[in-house]
Structure 1
């Protein structure tokens, strides 16, 4: 899974009025970026510097690369290698597809993390000696040497399989957790869902149980918040939960149990919420769900049988699936030939590609047998990145680096062929005015979200999208 992150995608969508012949109909494409990243990334996070933090656990024994300059980790309470000269975290550069070794001291197995308002990654907890630890990494540009820093202060309580969610006050709390527009948290484990007021630490209300199978570890479903819209005052919050292992699969230790086809969507902000159920075209456990620049959802990675754990699944789900929240339709995309099951990750890059990293279904790095440890990094290019659409692909030319809540700001962009009108859209769908000609390009006026319960202060990606064809994204800092 990817580390918890607040890379909410801002979109300015140019709608087609007359010529829609270029609408996307392909299945996307795959590219191998790095044949050996050195580690199997259990957690992956894209920074606002357009670099990628990759992090494995430390108790795997030797990885595929050593720490530089003869450095070793001397950790007397480590259970596998008390003197460990191997890398367990790297910084990946999508520009040249190379990695730089990072140094992590305590075990990060089944930890969690979150970017704070200044862009710093705060990574907490883990296993054994790492159970109460706090680690930070301030992202830096390519060529710099930022690295993990482990704080001397420990958390009051040790947790394993915990979650982190950025809150409006910049506090940080593997249950699934989403910040609702009213500032409360939507939390769920297995089939049970609650609304939690984090200020009072009280459960405000419960939600109906989702139908069919459980969805959390070791059942390993996936979830996403669908785009909020300015038309509803950013108050219509929908959570979509998909896949997972069959009920009882882990108790029966049945690695062949067919995973779930089902997806459930609930309006978490509704006074009378109910689950709307649909079936995906491919059953999936241990999948990832990604908000794309188009407002669609990409469902990727995982297996079609079994449950989460070492050697507990088979029949990899090689085809990504796209979900359109407006039409409520699924579409199968082109498949990869690299299985990505337990401890694999998926993240959106600023150029619109989806980065896929590693897979390890074994306790240690194991390079033989069925589903060996995989250290390869690849990228999936959704259909909107096809070269045939470059003539209608916008290119952002001007934008503010920082914005405040409710601020009206201007985005300048160029595009080879302009067709259609403009509407505001975002995974915060922002309010926009009609674009106007500005020199050799175009200018559009955009209104930022109204408050920090919609988008807490941190860095966000902004795209300009014309009829499903996005520009490259740029990072904007949302301030109070």
Structure 2
């Protein structure tokens, strides 16, 4: 249901309180979280003390993952796990020290100011954390009395500043927010600019599409460019799904949605940035909506979006899976440039055997998608021996050095600075990638030494853990974790 890659290169999974998982923390208690090593394909159980069902999350500046909100306790099932509506959970891992590996979530007892189920979260340039919206009581936010139409801010330690502030967008756009959008100044608590309405069907729960902040670089003046794809019409098994996509540069004076279309309609589709600058879209269904057993016709094929291609030529097909990835599935880029795909649990409690009435089971398998840049002979063309002059970087135009070995016929290089964020319900919170300026590349030379320039400020690269990928002729190296201040 929730996933993030930690600074030790391992993946944390987080789920709700359930009556069955493959891991246990004791003879009497299932594990609702785990730390997964994608290299060894092994996992260790982690514990938490408050129910994290449908929570949000993001990373603090020191690399700690903060998990926000959740749902009510299920005391009949597990009396050791309490109310998670205002829960704040913390997980810390280190780039260089393995002593924290396998340690469970910390919950020192501080809470959110108000209850939030399905909260959205974003790390801010100053290291604070913006937390918005959610349901007050675990019931549908389509009803105003259930809707928490406010935001609150956590400080750099991940502790609430203690005030839930009304936000007009969250109130006026009920029940589906993403048809309306705006630029909002959190520090001044004011709307800077209202953007045009996005055409097509609804794009958020229960008809969630996918959204991606496209790669930032000096070539586009570090200006955001956002694409939103998919969605649906209503919360029912019969709902059609939407193939349309809207793309917008919100800071432009005359910002407008440029409309495009996926090859097929999808709901619960999620987009993940890849180090070569393309976006991989996976998971979801071609019919139905989010909710327990409300989707049909799983979408098995990966779709690849090239934002640099001309309109009408941006979509190609990737490989297909045979595993349905419906409600509560996730996708996440790994250090080796492959995509981890996991989950699918369209039930209140896990179902492990298919039936005519419930054909799509709870799936505990982890799948790896290999993008075209690593397929076939490309897998032998990785840059190797990557060494960084430092793993402590600042978003202030400072420089650092990268050395590596390239194929002897290599022609071009890019340096990607990547933040995977916190993934849940087709939303990749705080997800972004930047292509950094570099000099020193010599085409055809095996031994390369580049001087790389960091982005100009933390508006472009908020503080936290990032991964540096050296991308030669579109093929990424194994990623190296760094901390950006």
* 1:446-473 deviation line (CA, Å, top 9, x unaligned): 1001111110111111111122111111
Kindly report which structure 2 residues correspond to 1:62-461, keeping only aligned pairs within 5 A, or say none.
62-68=20-26, 70=27, 85-128=29-72, 129-139=83-93, 141=98, 144-173=101-130, 189-234=177-222, 236-245=223-232, 247=233, 249-250=234-235, 253=236, 255-328=237-310, 329-368=314-353, 369=355, 370-399=359-388, 400-404=390-394, 405-422=396-413, 427-436=433-442, 441-461=447-467
8 Å contact from structure 1 (residues 422, 433) kept in 2: no
Going from structure 1 to structure 2, the CA distance change for 1:168 and 1:352 (only over 3 Å counts) comes to same
Task: Give distance in 1, aligned partners of 2:90 and 2:238.
Answer: 40
Q: TM-score, normalised by structure 1?
A: 0.81
Going from structure 1 to structure 2, the CA distance change for 1:138 and 1:304 (only over 3 Å counts) comes to same
Task: Give distance in 1, aligned partners of 2:271 and 2:379.
Answer: 26
Instruction: Report deviation, 1:142.
Output: 8.6
* Matching residue of 2:164: none
Secondary structure in 2 matching 1:314: strand
Structure 1 stretch displaced more, 236-245 or 132-141: 132-141
Secondary structure in 2 matching 1:231: helix
Greater RCO, 1 or 2 (C-alpha within 8 Å, sep 6+): 1
Task: Give distance in 2, aligned partners of 1:429 and 1:145.
Answer: 33
Structure 1 stretch displaced more, 331-340 or 382-391: 382-391
Instruction: Report deviation, 1:135.
Output: 0.5
Instruction: Report deviation, 1:422.
Output: 4.4
Secondary structure in 1 matching 2:373: helix
Secondary structure in 1 matching 2:120: coil
Task: Give distance in 2, aligned partners of 1:243 and 1:394.
Answer: 35
Q: Which runs of 5+ in 2 are unaligned?
A: 73-82, 135-166, 171-175, 418-432
* 1:132-170 deviation line (CA, Å, top 9, x unaligned): 111101125499332101121111111111111001111
Q: Which runs of 5+ in 1 are unaligned?
A: 1-41, 73-84, 177-184
8 Å contact from structure 2 (residues 7, 93) kept in 1: yes
8 Å contact from structure 1 (residues 421, 434) kept in 2: no
Instruction: Report deviation, 1:213.
Output: 0.5
Task: Give distance in 1, aligned partners of 2:215 and 2:412.
Answer: 20
Going from structure 1 to structure 2, the CA distance change for 1:415 and 1:422 (only over 3 Å counts) comes to closer
Going from structure 1 to structure 2, the CA distance change for 1:55 and 1:289 (only over 3 Å counts) comes to same
Secondary structure in 2 matching 1:320: strand
Task: Give distance in 2, aligned partners of 1:407 and 1:447.
Answer: 6
Considering only aligned residues, what root-mean-square deviation do their CA atoms show, in Å? Answer: 2.3
Secondary structure in 2 matching 1:190: helix
8 Å contact from structure 1 (residues 392, 417) kept in 2: no
Secondary structure in 2 matching 1:273: coil
* Matching residue of 1:54: 13
* 1:195-244 deviation line (CA, Å, top 9, x unaligned): 1111122222211110011100001111000111112331x211100001
8 Å contact from structure 1 (residues 43, 55) kept in 2: yes
Instruction: Report deviation, 1:396.
Output: 4.2
Going from structure 1 to structure 2, the CA distance change for 1:439 and 1:229 (only over 3 Å counts) comes to closer
Count of aligned pairs: 409
Structure 1 stretch displaced more, 352-361 or 412-421: 412-421
8 Å contact from structure 1 (residues 391, 417) kept in 2: no
* Matching residue of 2:480: 474
Task: Give distance in 2, aligned partners of 1:353 and 1:278.
Answer: 26
* Matching residue of 1:34: none
